[in-house]
Structure 1
Amino acid sequence: MSVVEHATLDQLFLKARSIHQFLPAEVSNETLRELYTLVRQGPTGFNAQPARFLFVRSPEAKQQLAPALSSSNRDKTIAAPLNVIIAYDENFHDELPEQFPAYDARSFFINNPSWIEPTARTNATLQAGYLFIAARALGLDVGPMSGFDNAKVDEIFFAGTSWKSLLLANIGYGDHSSVKPVGPRLDFGKAVSVL
């Protein structure tokens, strides 16, 4: 039995689609703050919150991003009103004394450096999912992608920092006139086991 309205499930999951064309409406900074306020509430291991978000809006920043995009993603990304580079911070554990005061998790990662990168990637990927769902909850549409050169993005935008790019997404108010029907999804029996 659902505890939310069916319309909400439709907006977040059942009728939502990855969007590739957007209306020219701008996504305000106020909306971005509201979006992040939702995203940061999603659970992560040790409350680590390793994801970092660089929103790309200006034509100059988009032109910097363009050479790192695959040819199939370039035009739609430049045309979108807003792009986000979702990254993870390799030094996320430096925030843990404040974010997770119940346990000295920072020392755990300092003493076990091989855990840093996989922990950061896994939890930042979780946060990317939260971002997509939160964007839909706020009436935005999202077109996530992995078709880009991470090394170029990191060189252009994150040189000299501890941030590493993970995913890109286009965000805005979608043009639903060309949205195709949802693609096939795996049946329960193919994707789920219960022991």
Structure 2
Amino acid sequence: MGTPLDDAGLDTIFRTARTFNGYTDQPVTEADIRKIYDLLKMGPTSANQQPARFVWCTSDAAKEKLAQCASGTNPDKIRQAPASVVIGMDENFHEELPWLFPHTDAKSWFTGDADKRKEHAFRNSSLQGAYFIIAARAIGLDTGPMSGFDPEQVNAAFFGDEPNVKVNFISTLGHGDPETIFDRSPRPEFEKFNRIV
């Protein structure tokens, strides 16, 4: 059993953490990126599928390529952030299951069923995208997840040689500038969307 986090830890990950629209000039390093991945990969996925594929955009050229795929105010957010990440999903994740989940022949559960693979890839890469946000917060960084982009453009730009990989969502990453956040939107009370049966 794990040790419960104290209030400061819960604040860092959930209660006072925010989605940022802009960042300070402090860089995101390769060491930061590797730290985030080494945490997020430990989060559970069905049969340890690990379908998420991450492209970390840190160069101006890579950020510009991603910005060209985004809409609304997102292009400037991407250009100005120290880093951005494309969270993709490998719809052929089952090819990796023999070593990721060696307890049984899990690959056979998905062979020949593209719709089932797509469903599982989306669900579990979404989980991994959420783990990315939590891991970034846990090491003192902030994120700006977004869905305002053209998925076909992103796929062509970043996964053109991997047609089995599709984008799920994208996010900026850095040390958040408090001046760029909005007032917190409402959060529902337990009774609004929960039932205990």
Q: Mapping of 1:87-166 within 5 angstroms?
A: 87-161=88-162, 162-166=164-168
Query: Number of residue pairs matched?
Result: 194
Q: Secondary structure at the match of 1:4?
A: coil
Instruction: Kindly provide the amino acid, as one letter, of the partner of residue 190 in structure 1.
Output: K
By how many angstroms is 1:178 displaced?
3.8
TM-score under structure 2 normalisation?
0.95
Instruction: Kindly provide the amino acid, as one letter, of the partner of residue 16 in structure 2.
Output: K
Give, in whole Å, the separation in 2 of the partners of 1:153 and 1:3: 39
| Structure-2 residue corresponding to 1:39 | 40
Give 1:191's match in structure 2, choosing from 171, 190, 193. 193
By how many angstroms is 1:112 displaced?
3.0
Answering whether residue 7 of structure 2 is matched by residue 6 of structure 1, we say yes
Q: Secondary structure at the match of 1:19?
A: coil
Give, in whole Å, the separation in 2 of the partners of 1:180 and 1:114: 39
Gaps of at least 5 residues in structure 2 are none
Give 1:170's match in structure 2, choosing from 148, 169, 172. 172
Contact 2:90 2:121 in 1 (8 A): yes
Q: Secondary structure at the match of 1:110?
A: coil
| Structure-2 residue corresponding to 1:71 | 72
Give, in whole Å, the separation in 1 of the partners of 2:154 and 2:27: 24
Instruction: Kindly provide the amino acid, as one letter, of the partner of residue 147 in structure 1.
Output: G
Instruction: Kindly provide the amino acid, as one letter, of the partner of residue 103 in structure 1.
Output: T
1:51-71 Cα offsets, whole Å, 9 max, x none, are 011011111112222221002
Gaps of at least 5 residues in structure 1 are none
Contact 2:56 2:85 in 1 (8 A): yes
Give, in whole Å, the separation in 2 of the partners of 1:63 and 1:13: 30
Structure 1 vs Structure 2: percent identity of aligned residues?
A: 40
List 4+ stretches of structure 1 deviating above 6 A. Answer: none
Instruction: Kindly provide the amino acid, as one letter, of the partner of residue 42 in structure 2.
Output: Q
Q: C-alpha root-mean-square deviation of aligned residues, in Å?
A: 1.2
By how many angstroms is 1:102 displaced?
1.1
Answering whether residue 183 of structure 2 is matched by residue 181 of structure 1, we say yes
1:118-152 Cα offsets, whole Å, 9 max, x none, are 10000000000000000000000011000000000
By how many angstroms is 1:179 displaced?
2.9
By how many angstroms is 1:47 displaced?
0.5
Give, in whole Å, the separation in 2 of the partners of 1:25 and 1:106: 43
Q: Secondary structure at the match of 1:129?
A: helix
Q: Secondary structure at the match of 1:78?
A: helix
Q: Which has the higher helix share?
A: 1
Contact 2:63 2:83 in 1 (8 A): no
Q: Secondary structure at the match of 1:183?
A: coil
Give, in whole Å, the separation in 1 of the partners of 2:77 and 2:114: 38
By how many angstroms is 1:186 displaced?
1.5
